[in-house]
Every structure is written in structure tokens, then in C-alpha cells.
Amino acid sequence: MYEQHLIRRIEAFPLAEFVTMARECGRLEIDATLRADAARLYELIRGFRADVSFMSEEAAAMLDLAERFLYGEWFIAEHGFANYPSYIGLAMVKCALGVHLRDDFRRGWEKCKTCMHILLNDLLSYEVSSLAGIFPWYPDHRMESVMRNRIAALNDLRTSLAAPSQGAVPIVSSGILSWSQYAEKGREHLALRHLTALPVSCEHDEYFFMRVLQMSECCFWGALSAVIAAIEATKFDCLEEAMAHMEQALEFLDFLQPITQVLKTMPPEHFWAFRDATDGSSAIQSRWFHLLHIYLHGLDERKVSIYADIPEISDLIHYGKPGFVSLRSLLRDFAPHATPELETFAEIASRLDASLYAYRCIHLGIVHRFLPPDAKQGTGGTSGIPYLRKHLTRRLWPLESEYPQPDLEELNALDIFQPLVGVGN
């Protein structure tokens, strides 16, 4: 009985009004009562799903969708700011990627490419429509020359991104639908496009910024899952399969670089215009980015204290305990047993390492460009440029060179068991 009552509560929530207001005036300017209702509804859904084991398939789908979407408002209400996952709607992106389904890796990579296509096409449509004057959202600081350069860069990206083998990217409608329509099986792409870019300001470039971050997360997830698949394949002596998985990781990382380069089309002052409103949502909270480095190199002792202070990623310090297998540890084990096949494996690993290093260099350049001249620190409370410089040069080779390893006793003594609650992380 309560299930139906909760479903009616969800259906009564004015989703179209909420999204429309966010587009017109920025997320933080939505009516306070409506935002409070969203946070309260999230709590009701979370409580119900924790207490009830069985429910109809339709109800489960709608509850999952609503919980993922409303997480951001609940987080802001609880903490007074949006963290990185809630800011970019990462829970909704995860749903479209099928992260929660534990699919076969290959199916997951196809979903990842489909999501990247949808996000890229949406961003291109946004810029073209804005340039044509037929798109009313986020009017502040539109610059025709900037948009033209960006459209050209995005077109190049779309040309370089291979189409998913599972079929054409679905055509999505432009209007906001109902909860039940978004929750229907196979319609994840609709929610991905409509419900994952709700900037906090009216700045035109904030929408662009969010979409780039979301595409970057897709690349991180694709590369991370491919590296994990490669490491697992080596455990069964399937080196050929492992190398194919690493080539897949390279495909995602090679697309990550031009995505990040497109950020250079944004004038620094445009970023400064919305930076303060997003300061709690630093990308240092990106789990997939950090996990990708951990699976390549192992846990760096120099980052333990950083991870421990960031709730979104504090549990990553457990990867420093004995028994964890990284690509680096595999290469060190393989080194005394050189064979042509192992040499090929090492060569692909070297290209993977170089591609991720190139991304870090590009990212450092972006931070140099965007950090205001008077900024005393970077986003998320980090030291900004000094932090990035400190960890920039970590590479897989030389394998003999030891990086600082965490002290196990100190690791176990850290009190980090205060995880953020909710599906959004």
C-alpha cells in the first residue's frame, strides 16, 4: 500500500517545472520550497528502498530514477553546497552507463561510447542552437567567436569518435517527459540528455563545462573498466585478451585528451563567473579518475592523507593494503620472464601510461589558464597547481624505481568510516 502512496508522491512532484526553472535561472535559484520538497522526497525514497525488499519492477525502476535525480538536492540541503557527483549528476550518468548492472565488460564499453555520443551531440546542438538564437537557456556571456570555435572543435570530436557497434545513437525528444516515461526500460538515454545538466548559474559556458566533465567521466570509466579487465585476464594467463582490453583503455584515454582540449575555448573569465558557486564540487572527488591511477600505479603514500580528508574517495586508501594487483606490480613480476608476448604487453602498457600522462599535462595547463590570478588555492580545498605539479610526473617506468608505499599500521589506524550516504556517489 505504501509503495503506491510513494509512487503517487513521486508522480506529483513537478519534474518539468523543476527542470525548466533550473534551465531558466540556474539550479540554486529554483523556488526554495520546491527544492526542499525534492530533498524530502529523496529521503522518503531512500528510506523505503532500505526497508522494503520486494516491489514491482515498474516501481523499482521509478524509485531508482527519482532517487538518482533527487540526490543532488538532498546533498545540497544537507551540506550547503554541491559536491562533484551531485553537481554533474553522476548518479544519472552511471545509470546510463549501466554501472549498477555488472554487465559484461564489452557491453559496458559499448554503452560508454553510446553515452559519449549522446552527450557530445547534445552539447553540439546546444552550441549551434545558441549561436542561431533559438536556444533561450543560460544567456550570460555568450560570445559568437567563442561558440564558432567551439562548434568546429566539437564537430572534429564527433568525427573522431567511432560510432557504437550496437547501432545508431537513439534520437531523443526535446521536451521534458514524466517520471514513468524516463523509467521505462531502454530509455536511459532520455534521462541522460534531459536530467544531467542543470547548472547552478545562468552562465552559458557552465552547461558546456558540465557536459565536458560528464564525457570525461565516461572516458575514465571506460578506461578503468578496461584496465581492470586486462589485469583479471592476466590472472588466467590470457595475455592476448589482456592486451586487447588495454587497447580498449587506450581508445578511451585517447579521446579524453581532445575532450579536455576543447575546454580551452572557454575564456577564463567565463569560468571565474561561476567558479565560486561550484567550489565544493572539485573534480578531485572523481573516484574513477583516482581509481584509474591506482590500478595503473598502486596507491601512492603521498595521497593517503588527501584521500582520507575527502569523503567521496576516502575509502580508496584500502587499495594500499597487501594483495592488491596493479598494472605496475604485474609488469614488475613479468620483467624477469621476458618473452615476445610480454614485451608487446609492456609496450601497450607504456602507451597507456603515456596517454594518461599527456592528459595530466593538458589538465595542468587548463588549471593554469583558469585559476584566477588572486586565487590562494585550487578547487576543493587543494593547493591547486602545486598539488597537480607534485603528482604530475608519476610514470610506470622505470619499474625499479620505488614510489612511497603506505605504512600498513598507519593505514589501519585512519578513521575514515564515515561514507557519504546515498546512491549519488
Per-residue pLDDT of 149-171, as tens digits, reads 999 999 999 988 876 665 444 44
Say which CATH class 115-168+199-413 falls into.
mainly alpha
* Of 206, 199, 194, the residue nearest 93 (C-alpha): 194
Q: What is the mean pLDDT of residues 250-270?
A: 93
List, for residues 378-415, the tens digit of each pLDDT value. Answer: 554 455 566 666 666 677 876 765 555 666 566 666 65
pLDDT band, residue 374 (cuts 50/70/90): low
* pTM score: 0.91
List, for residues 301-337, the tens digit of each pLDDT value. Answer: 878 888 888 888 888 988 988 889 999 999 999 988 8
Q: What is the mean pLDDT of residues 245-270?
A: 94
Distance between start and end Cα atoms, the chain: 30
pLDDT band, residue 262 (cuts 50/70/90): very high
Q: What is the mean pLDDT of residues 345-360?
A: 92
Instruction: Quickly count helices (H) and strands (E) in the chain.
Output: 19, 0
CA dihedral over 283, 284, 288, 293, signed as positive or negative: positive
* Of 229, 226, 295, the residue nearest 256 (C-alpha): 226
Alpha carbon 345 to chain centroid, angstroms: 28
Alpha carbon 62 to chain centroid, angstroms: 23
Q: What is the mean pLDDT of residues 267-283?
A: 83
**Residue 141 has what pLDDT?**
85
Alpha carbon 363 to chain centroid, angstroms: 15
Domain boundaries, the chain: 115-168+199-413
Among 56-70, 252-266, 270-284, 308-322, name the one with the lowest average pLDDT.
270-284
Rounded mean pLDDT of the chain?
Answer: 86
List, for residues 7-22, the tens digit of each pLDDT value. Answer: 999 999 999 999 999 9
* Of 197, 183, 189, 128, the residue nearest 164 (C-alpha): 189
**pLDDT over 90 (residue 216):** yes
**pLDDT over 50 (residue 184):** yes
Q: What is the mean pLDDT of residues 280-291?
A: 87
Distance in angstroms (rounded) separating the CA atoms of residues 65 and 91: 9
In this predicted model, which residue has the larger pLDDT, 275 or 212?
212
Among 29-43, 245-259, 277-291, 320-334, name the one with the lowest average pLDDT.
277-291
Q: What is the mean pLDDT of residues 187-203?
A: 90
Which residues make Cβ contacts (< 8 Å) with residue 358, sequence separation at least 6? 257
**Residue 188 has what pLDDT?**
82
**Residue 406 has what pLDDT?**
63
List, for residues 28-54, the tens digit of each pLDDT value. Answer: 899 999 999 999 999 999 999 888 878
- DSSP assignment letter at 175: S
Instruction: Check: CB of residue 211 under 8 Å from CB of residue 122.
Output: yes
List, for residues 75-131, the tens digit of each pLDDT value. Answer: 999 988 899 999 999 999 999 999 987 778 889 999 999 999 999 999 999 999 999
Mutual orientation of helices 287-297 and 327-334 as an angle, nearest 10°?
10
Q: What is the mean pLDDT of residues 251-272?
A: 92
**% pLDDT > 90, the chain:** 51
Q: What is the mean pLDDT of residues 227-248?
A: 95
